[in-house]
Structure 1
Amino acid sequence: MLSPEPHLEVAVGAEPVWIVALRRHPHYDHVRLKRVFIDDGTRHQVVMVNAEKLLQCANRDDTDYVLRGVDDWHAGKVRGIREFLDPANARIPEMPYVTITQRRRRGLLGWIGIEHEGVVAFRNGQHRARYMAYAGAETFPVEVAEREAELLISLCGA
């Protein structure tokens, strides 16, 4: 049985691979993910996020495409993402790539600038993130621009 916390595996001469345990998934018990931006000069960072917190912030995004929960996906979409993430595949999927901002929370305390909330937008990997959470991943890695990493950690970090 895998640890519920993602861990990193690095084979000699290969790029790092994160292993994410799935607690409620009958088809396989983990997924493998790799970085989107491999070159360190890209100024992106891997952050371990709490799946529930990340999706709460993503659900607040009113500017980009926000998916419904996996239960509302058609069977072909569920099968497709399940097959895409299958660790038996030779190809390793990239981890979700996100951006995060902060805005005033709705209501009086937000209006006067006292309360704020995080808003996550997916640049890639929204299906992966929602499916992993649905399958029981409590935490998983995402990639984010360095300048946004601290905010992501403070609002959604594992």
Structure 2
Amino acid sequence: MTATVESPRTPYAYPARSTGRRGPNLEKAGWIFMRASGVVLVVLIFGHLAYNLLFTPGGIQAIDFGFIGGKFANPLWQWWDVVMLWLAVLHGSNGMRTIVNDYVHREGLRRIALGAIASSAFILIALGTLITFTFDPCPTGVEAELLPSFCATR
């Protein structure tokens, strides 16, 4: 009894998944997106860190609930953080999609994994965007002792 082991460099042949396909090349678009989003994310992340750690009086010790409340009161920083969130989640889920496509060979399991990645990305983007644009550190109708000290008494 002999067993043959294929060379590890032998590409896995997906059954009729990539042969004879027409239309846009989504893998190429995903590849380009990863490169472009990576460059933009580097700029966004270093801008975020520079503002929070270098240009804020008090440095890292000044970052607290009030700092975030004041930062999210400015539409520039709301959009900055939302774009950073969207790109980071999409970049990460596209990378996970690539890993699943490369290493999960059973079609049913691949569909489940890709569905879980897509739904996780959708939930993270939806909740993060909602929180960023609706964040209010001083909500109305709350007892004064529950509010942070920087909120004006009403």
- Alignment TM class, shorter chain as reference: under 0.3
Q: Which has the larger strand fraction?
A: 1
Give the greater-gyration-radius structure (CA).
2
Q: Which has the larger helix fraction?
A: 2
Answer 1 or 2: higher relative contact order, Cα 8 Å, separation at least 6: 1
